[in-house]
Chains A and B, each alone.
Chain A
Amino acid sequence: MTEQKLGNPAVVGLAGFGLTTMVLQFHNVGWMGLGPVVWLGLIFGGLAQMIAGLQEMKTGNNFGYCAFTAYGCFWIALALLLIGNHYDLYTSSKTDVGWFLVAWTVFTAILWVGSLRIHGALALTFTLLLIGFILLDLAHFGYPDLTVVAGYELMATAAMAWYIMAHIIFADVFGRDVLPVGKPWIR
């Protein structure tokens, strides 16, 4: 009896993280409104990524377990925060959202250190994500024009997440490593 093949939860986590991050940046640079960000944030960036994160537990991957579950919660919290503002439930001002982002920046900095030991593509993704969060922090505290800069920078972050997703999927379907992810930045 052959062992049943299991999927890698990271492909869903990276898909949801990448896509929802991408559409928020489409909004940040002024291409579209906020509506799709709220609903995708709840379902794909939120629920799907969080479930993928919880599934990482059984793979023994603590980095993925923490990162996907946490960023899934980030999107759910952000979407609920925006919905709460609409219904006057614990209304969050721009300053409040700014501090929310500062906390996520510090959290991301911790994971960024871990990412440097995994592989080059993940290290680059988290470096871009950390820079993006810092730009958004600055945009919320005195430099609003950086919202657009953060928008383009975080599009690169989302694209990198999709690159790693494609690396995993293509390696599976082609039977060889089509998209290399490179060596860790710290060994």
Chain B
Amino acid sequence: MISGRRTICLAALAALAAGGQWVGAAEGDAATAEEAVNNVRAAAKFLHDKGSAGYAEFNNKDGKWVWKDSYVFVYDCRRDRMMAHPMRPDLVGKPIMQITDNTGRPIFKELCKAGSEARGGWVEYMWQKPGAGRLSRKLSYALTADMSFTTGIQVSAGIYDEKIPLSDLTRALEKMSDPAKYPAL
């Protein structure tokens, strides 16, 4: 089902690219926006199916939720906690709402707001790219995971790109989220 959805996503994104609108056509080993959206949606589905027992999988930096230069991380907007993060184990279990980037942007407050939208949403901030020694411009897609006995759990993954306008990613997401083509989880 996920691969089928991915195929449709690729078709939608190819159409966008053909129209000169496509975003996130990253080169080489850089994760694309499409991959981020698909992996976040797959992660939300995984948590829906497995419940809180699934958090641990996201702490594995060699696991399936880490690819190219990106990864999925899980956080609790209601309890103000990082639930799982493959690259920053020091953050797991810690409060997140006070975390800001070097421009003062409250990263998780904005992720929680974007992720609470029905289709999820994109947020732009500065974060350290895995393997890089400096901060990069990161655009992350956040989505709420629908789980038993809990609310406010979100999953997110991002791409590193210095140029893509956030509005392009938002527009692409709207097209990818066409309910007729992309039924809810």
Contacts and interface: CB of A to CB of B under 8 A. Distances in A.
A30 B149 contact: no
B150 interface: yes
Contact of A27 (B49, B54, B149): B149
A30 B53 CA distance: 17
A28 B48 contact: no
Nearest to A32: B79
A85 B50 contact: yes
A154 to B, nearest CB: 11
Interface residues on chain B, size class: 10 to 19
Contact of B48 (A30, A86, A94, A148): A94
A71 B110 CA distance: 42
Contacts of A24: 149
B112 to A, nearest CB: 13
Contact of A148 (B49, B52, B147, B151): B151
Interface in B130-184: 144, 146-152
Contact of B78 (A30, A34, A92): A30
A91 B148 contact: no
Given A30-B78, A30-B79, A97 B53 contact: no
Of the listed residues A31, A95, A97, A147, the one surrounded by the most CB atoms of chain B closer than 10 A to its CB is A147
B92 to A, nearest CB: 12
Interface of B: 48-54, 76, 78-79, 144, 146-152
Contact of B53 (A82, A95, A144, A145): A82
B150 A28 contact: yes
A96 B22 CA distance: 39
A115 to B, nearest CB: 25
A163 to B, nearest CB: 25
A93 B149 CA distance: 12
Of the listed residues B51, B52, B76, B149, the one surrounded by the most CB atoms of chain A closer than 10 A to its CB is B149
Contacts of B150: 27-28, 30, 34, 147
Contacts of B50: 85, 91, 93
A98 B149 CA distance: 10
Main SS at interface, chain B:
mixed
A94 B79 contact: no
A91 B54 CA distance: 11
A33 B51 CA distance: 12
Contacts of A30: 76, 78-79, 150-152
B79 A91 contact: no
Given A27-B149, A95-B48, 15 more contacts: A27-B150, A28-B150, A30-B78, A31-B79, A34-B150, A82-B51, A82-B52, A93-B50, A94-B49, A97-B51, A98-B148, A140-B148, A144-B151, A145-B151, A148-B151
A91 B78 CA distance: 25
Given A30-B78, A30-B79, A144-B146, A92 B151 contact: no
A93 B53 contact: no
A184 B145 CA distance: 44
A78 to B, nearest CB: 9
B146 A34 contact: no
B53 A85 contact: yes
Of the listed residues B52, B79, B150, B152, the one surrounded by the most CB atoms of chain A closer than 10 A to its CB is B150
Nearest to B185: A94
Contacts of A31: 79
